């Protein structure tokens, strides 16, 4: 069966909106939204859930981002409306603060990404993309998508803007956002004490 749809999963600040627009510009695929397996930022559904849906013609894309830059972006804008003062504190206090159902943001990173890695192995068609790789070489990502959906040639239209849920922000420096911030030894030690070694290795990120 020909792939005609795409479903994107990824945490906040991992480029879900950018990948969405990139695919819209380059491929004729339908998008699966909230009504199909829920929120794009959720824990990836387990097989007992997703197997109730017809996924045979769906390409699942899972997005990943370096935990150190991701934590910094979450600190600047956590998209967490349950407690609006969550980032009215230092970065070190923030990374130790409980968020949603998780002990801290590092545990959130571990569990969300672990669920994406798991589901990517379960479904018929999947592609794991590190947002850093997308920024570095969009033509390669384009070729990977084209190969999976069975298109020999497709026009490549690069996407160079920073985009979030509010739309395109022309003054945002993407490369700066993806640059690992200067962290204190205390902050690094705390983050590393929670980061999963197996997940870091599987995605291909190095510990500081």
Using an 8 Å Cβ cutoff, are 205 and 67 in contact?
yes
Scan for tokens 């197997």, then name that residue: 51
Paired tokens of 101: 């159902």
Query: The tokens of 180 are what?
Result: 């690992």
Distance of alpha carbon 172 from alpha carbon 47, whole angstroms: 38
Phi, psi of 88 (to 5 degrees): -85, 55
Which segments of the chain have a pLDDT < 50?
Answer: none
Task: Name the residue with tokens 């792939």.
Answer: 3
Q: Looking at the 3D structure of the chain, how many domains does it have?
A: 1
Token representation of residue 8: 């994107």
Distances, alpha carbon 101 to alpha carbons 34, 88, 156, in Å: 20, 20, 40
Residue 200 has a CB neighbour count (10 Å cut-off) of 18
In the prediction, which pLDDT does 88 show? Answer: 74
Residue 111 lies in domain: 5-203
Report the pLDDT value the prediction gives residue 81, as an integer from 0 to 100. 55
CA 36 vs. chain centroid, Å, equals 18
Q: What is the CATH number of the domain that holds 108?
A: 3.40.50.300
| 198 part of a folded domain | yes
Examine residue 135 and state whether it is found in any structural domain, yes or no. Answer: yes
Whether 65 is in a domain gets the answer yes
Render 93-148 in DSSP notation, one character per residue. Answer: HHHTS-BTTBSSHHHHHHHHHHHHHHHHHHSSSEEEEEHHHHHH-HHHHHHHHHHH
Rg of the chain taking only CA atoms, in angstroms: 17
Contacts for 154 with CB less than 8 Å, ≥ 6 apart = 26, 27, 142, 146
Asked whether residue 26 is domain-assigned, the answer is yes
C-alpha count within 13 angstroms, C-beta hemisphere, residue 186? 6
- Please tell me the predicted confidence (pLDDT) of residue 155: 81
In a domain, 152, yes or no: yes
- pTM comes to 0.93
208 within a domain of the structure (yes/no): no
Label residues 59-90 b or e (16+ Cβ within 10 Å = b): bbbbbbbbbbbbbbbbbeebeeeeeeebbeee
**Structural domain contains residue 124:** yes
């Amino acid at each position: 069966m020909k792939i005609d749809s795409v479903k994107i999963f990824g945490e906040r600040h991992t480029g879900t909106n950018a990948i969405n627009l990139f695919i819209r510009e380059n491929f004729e695929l339908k998008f699966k939204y909230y009504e199909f397996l829920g929120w794009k930022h959720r824990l990836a559904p387990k097989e007992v859930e997703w197997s109730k849906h017809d996924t045979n013609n769906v390409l699942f894309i899972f997005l990943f981002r370096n935990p150190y830059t991701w934590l910094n972006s979450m600190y600047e804008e956590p998209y967490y409306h349950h407690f609006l003062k969550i980032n009215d504190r230092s970065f070190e206090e923030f990374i130790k603060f409980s968020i949603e159902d998780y002990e801290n943001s590092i545990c959130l990173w571990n569990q969300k990404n672990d669920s994406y890695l798991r589901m990517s192995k379960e479904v018929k068609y999947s592609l794991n993309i590190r947002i850093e790789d997308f920024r570095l070489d969009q033509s390669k990502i384009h070729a990977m998508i084209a190969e999976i959906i069975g298109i020999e040639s497709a026009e490549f239209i690069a996407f160079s803007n920073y985009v979030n849920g509010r739309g395109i922000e022309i003054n945002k420096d993407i490369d700066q956002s993806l640059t690992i911030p200067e962290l204190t030894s205390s902050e690094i030690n705390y983050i590393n004490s929670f980061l999963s070694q197996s997940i870091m290795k599987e995605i291909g990120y190095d510990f500081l």
